[in-house]
Structure formats: C-alpha cells, structure tokens
Amino acid sequence: MAGEIHIPTLAPEVVFQIGNINITNTMINAWMAIVIFLVLGIMIKRAVKLRPGKLQNTCEFFLEGVLGYFDQVTGDRKKTIKFLPVVGSIFFFILLSNWLGLLPGTGSISVGHNMLLRPANTDLNLTVVMALVAVISSHVYAFMAIGVFTHLGKFIQIGTIVKSFKEFKNGIGAGLIAVFTAIIEFAVGLIEIISEVAKVVSLSLRLFGNIFAGEVLISVISALVAALVPTPFMLLELLVGLIQATVFAMLTIVYLTVATSMPHGSEEH
C-alpha cells in the first residue's frame, strides 16, 4: 500500500523555536554538516604527523585531487592555495550537505506536521548566501590582488568620460570619437555590474533547483513504491550532489580568477 506523499514546500519548515529564532529543518541539516566538519578538522589536526596515518593519507588524497582540478582554472598553484579557503569550504559544505539529505529519516521523520530533516540546499536562503559569499569574495580578492581603483575601473568608467573631453583640443572629430568611445565603455561597465547580480541569481537558483527537484522526486517515489525501488534514484542523487558541488565551486574559482586578473590592456600600459 502506498504511503502518504509528503511533497516538500519551497520554503523550509519551522521545527522549533529558540526565543524569537525559528529553527528550520534545513538549518538542522546545515548544522549537522558544520559539526561533522568541525569534528573532522579536530581529528585531522591531531593526526597530522611526518609519517601520515590512514586518515591523513585519505584527506591528502582528496585535497590533492581538489587542488589539481582548481589548478586547471587558475593555472597557478599559488592562486589555487590562496583561493582554497573559500572555494574548498564551499565545495565540501555543499557536497556533505547534499549527501546528508540522503540519510534515512530525511523527509520521513516528522515533528508535528513538519519534517525534521531536509537537505540544506533546498533552502533558497542558504544558496543565495553562498552565492553572495562567492561573488563578494571575488571582489575582496581582486581588491587585494590588483588594487581597489583598478578593480573598480572595470565597472565605473566616469574617469574615461572626463578624459575624453580633453581630446577636443586635437579637433572636434577626435573629441567626438573619444566621447562616444567613453560612453560605450561606461555602458559596458554598467552591464558588468548587472552581470555580477546575475552571477548571484544563477548560482543560487541552479543549486537550489537541482537539489529541490531531487528531493521532490525521491519523496514521491518513496511514497508510491517499495523501499528498494528508490535506491537507484538515491544513488543518482549522490552523483548529482557531487556534480552540483563541483559546478558551484568551479564557477566560484572562475569568478575569483577573472576578478584578480588585470584589466585588458593594463599590462601593456
């Protein structure tokens, strides 16, 4: 007999409250991932030796694999290591939080009328925050790498318009061309600003949409058919979780790499 179908809602469900703070089921899964990382980090720190044990060897194996993939984007191991705290944290958090969403009881254990556990990345608030961290970090790294004014010059081209008027001393034609070029560059800067907003929207919605769709699919199939039938779909979700973590992390490191590169033509200047 088919069980009751519980379709996850777009908004996370409140499980309980601490004072005026609502604790949702996605927050529980997110904090589970954070606690696991904290415990694992303490264990690795205590296990680090000149002659590594199994835990250290395993962690170094995964770290070298991640660094190798990131090097393909940055082209520089120094840059990769510099970006690793942000990109690596995002990658492993998304990966673990996605996989925790497949734990037994997720989507089936309820407190009152609400589910106790739900994949953290089915909360749009969380995916938007991670996207903001990725995009804002790219600008912070750019400020440190190429300078505040150089980086802002990729977006705000008011100085170019002011300088273009000086070209009128070389003739009306030269002045008009310079002003027209400066206006185009200013418009391109505005488009670049819009693209930064688009990065946040695309990153957050892509991750949220894929993980939420997978959770709905598993919930429906689990309620309609026997326990063994959803297993292939859960294995597929393991792969999807890895792919989504990889895509998010790789796009983040692309943004970081592009942002910390000098503007076109500045090297020659």
Q: How far apart are CA 138 and CA 207, in angstroms?
A: 19
Q: How far apart are CA 209 and CA 198, in angstroms?
A: 16
Distance, CA of 225 to chain centre: 34
Structure tokens belonging to residue 179: 């002003």
User: What pLDDT score does 4 carry?
Assistant: 53
Q: Give pTM, 2 decimals.
A: 0.82
Structure tokens belonging to residue 53: 């044990």
Q: Which residue has the tokens 């995964």?
A: 62
- pLDDT range class, residue 268, cuts 50, 70, 90: very low
User: What pLDDT score does 207 carry?
Assistant: 92
Provide the 3-class DSSP secondary structure of residue 48.
Answer: coil
- pLDDT range class, residue 93, cuts 50, 70, 90: very high
User: What pLDDT score does 211 carry?
Assistant: 87
Distance, CA of 210 to chain centre: 14
Helix ranges, the chain (H)? 25-47, 54-74, 77-100, 124-146, 148-152, 158-164, 172-224, 231-259
- Percent of the chain scored above 90 by pLDDT? 27
Structure tokens belonging to residue 78: 């120094």
Provide the 3-class DSSP secondary structure of residue 22.
Answer: strand
Q: Which of 111, 254, 207, 182 is CA-nearest to residue 174?
A: 182
Is a pLDDT exceeding 50 seen at residue 17?
yes
Provide the 3-class DSSP secondary structure of residue 23.
Answer: strand
pLDDT tens column, 129-166: 999 999 999 999 999 998 888 888 888 776 666 666 66
Mean of the per-residue pLDDT values for the chain? 81
User: What pLDDT score does 166 carry?
Assistant: 64
Q: How far apart are CA 190 and CA 114, in angstroms?
A: 44
For the chain, the domains span: 14-259
User: What pLDDT score does 231 carry?
Assistant: 67
- Report the pLDDT averaged over residues 9-32: 85
Q: What is the DSSP string of 97-141?
A: HHHHTTSTTTTT-EETTEES---GGG-HHHHHHHHHHHHHHHHHH
Q: Which of 262, 253, 269, 235 is CA-nearest to residue 81?
A: 253
Q: How far is CA 183 from CA 105, 159, 264, in A?
A: 58, 11, 18
Q: Which residue has the tokens 């600008």?
A: 139
Is a pLDDT exceeding 90 seen at residue 64?
no
Q: Which of 141, 128, 152 is CA-nearest to residue 80?
A: 141
Q: How far apart are CA 267 and CA 265, in angstroms?
A: 5
